Amino acid sequence: MHIGIIACGAIVRELTHIADNLGWDYELTAVPAQLHNRPERIAPAVEKRLDEWAGRFDLILVGYADCGTGGALDALLARYPHAVRIPGPHCYEFYGGNIFLEQSERELGTFYLTDFLARHFEGLVIPELGLDRFPELRDLYFGNYKEVFYLRQSPDHDESVRARSAADRLGLEYREADSGLQTLQDRLVHLLEERR
């Protein structure tokens, strides 16, 4: 099966790792991770790539959860029978699985970081929210949060120092857990088995 992967830039490394590990025959293209700050732009960006790749693959895996599109991504993919996305509301859930569910039940006011978000927090999150220019916005954005919870996908790419720094910058308590990639890999394997 020749697989095309249209991936959010925030999960490219993890999807590549899994696809290589499973021996997939695939090609991958990325959509900028910054679109999460404008989720209404995600479905049109994915649609453009789907149209460019039409007819080239047996299956196109869309490397997104719903990611705040409010169902727009699913509505789009309903028009492309050979394309499917990763089940779930967002990457924190499909990375964390039960770890995410337990944390969200324990503390609703949690700001989650993945390896990617921790690594790019100062260059992506801070300027995109305007906190570099208007630090007083921190309390407006994060006043209802209590904790930063870092979900570590890979011990080889440990971003805990940056994640702790992000928690300090936001004035929040810090927690972390090793989520690994097994939950995501299991979902991808299941998606492919359904399509074979």
pLDDT tens, residue by residue, 132-189: 999 999 999 999 999 999 999 998 889 999 999 999 999 999 999 999 999 999 999 9
Residues in CB range of 130: below 8 A, 6 or more apart: 137
- Entry pTM: 0.91
pLDDT of 196 over the 80 cut: no
pLDDT value at residue 195: 81
Structure token digits, residue 133:
């220019």
pLDDT tens digits, 159-169: 999 999 999 99
pLDDT tens digits for range 118-135: 999 999 899 999 999 999
DSSP E strand stretches across 64-126:
83-85, 110-113
* Portion of the chain with pLDDT greater than 70, in percent: 100
Question: 37 versus 136: which is more confidently predicted?
Answer: 136
Rounded to the nearest integer, the mean pLDDT of the chain is 94
Question: Using an 8 Å Cβ cutoff, are 88 and 187 in contact?
Answer: yes
Query: Going along 65-159, which residue ranges are E strands?
Result: 83-85, 110-113, 147-152
- State the pLDDT at residue 63: 93
Q: Which of 156, 163, 161 is nearest to 117 (CA)?
A: 163
Cα–Cα distance for residue pair 147/128, rounded to 1 Å: 20
What's the confidence (pLDDT) of residue 83? 94
What's the pLDDT at 98? 93
Domains in the chain, start-ordered, CATH in brackets?
A: 2-90+181-195 (3.40.50), 98-178 (no CATH)
pLDDT digits (tens, 9 = 90+) for 67-94: 889 999 999 999 999 999 998 888 899 8
Q: What is the pLDDT of residue 189?
A: 93
